[in-house]
Amino acid sequence: MAGGTPEVRRERRSLPDLLDWAENLPESLTWTNWPAPAGMRGIRVEEFLDEDGTFVARAELPGMDPGKDIDLEIDNGMLVIRAERQEEKRERGRTEFRYGKFTRRLALPEGADESEVSARYTDGILEVRMPVSEKRPEARAIPVQRTG
């Protein structure tokens, strides 16, 4: 701990980052979604293991109603965060619409306990936490049988 700030260990996983980019590429190239809708552009997502080995994912999603605008699921070792914002504003004979969609898939670290996941939304920040077991399977020898 330096200066009262906890040190954060961040696992760099190039393949999931590349998959996130590829997954969002078709949406980003369509005319209807380019440029990104106001309010959904540049959403920051971070993931790390905190001091006690808990996997933490945070997403800045201001102005959302977590009960209806945010969906979370775990699918095949990935944490999937989906958010959708629809806003309508009516003033003196005119109506303005704002709309934005966001999906992000994060690879869970080895040993993540998916049954103990928790999520909370506070002041526009979604935080998902999941304990990670440090226990790794022990190495074992595999006998090779000679045939023929």
Q: Is 36 domain-assigned?
A: yes
Q: Is 6 domain-assigned?
A: no
Q: Average pLDDT in the 26-33 region?
A: 43
How many domains are there within the chain? Answer: 1
Spatial distance between the Cα atoms of 28 and 7, rounded to a whole number of angstroms: 34
| pLDDT range class, residue 35, cuts 50, 70, 90 | very low
Q: Is 140 domain-assigned?
A: no
Instruction: Provide the whole-model pTM.
Output: 0.60
Q: Tell me what pLDDT residue 148 has.
A: 79
Residue 21 has pLDDT above 80, yes or no: no
Q: Is 118 domain-assigned?
A: yes
pLDDT tens digits, 98-122? 778 889 999 999 899 999 999 999 9
Q: Is 139 domain-assigned?
A: no
Count Cα neighbours of 95 within 13 Å in the Cβ-side half-sphere: 4
Spatial distance between the Cα atoms of 96 and 74, rounded to a whole number of angstroms: 35
Q: Tell me what pLDDT residue 60 has.
A: 92
Provide the residue range defining the domain that includes 54: 14-131
pLDDT tens digits, 62-112? 888 999 999 999 999 999 999 988 777 888 888 777 778 889 999 999 899
Burial 47-75 (b: 16+ CB within 10 A, else e): bebeeeebbebebebeebeeeebbebeee
Contact 69, 138 (CB under 8 A): no
Spatial distance between the Cα atoms of 5 and 17, rounded to a whole number of angstroms: 26
Q: Tell me what pLDDT residue 134 has.
A: 74
* 3-class state of residue 19 by DSSP: helix
Average pLDDT, the chain: 78
Q: Tell me what pLDDT residue 39 has.
A: 46
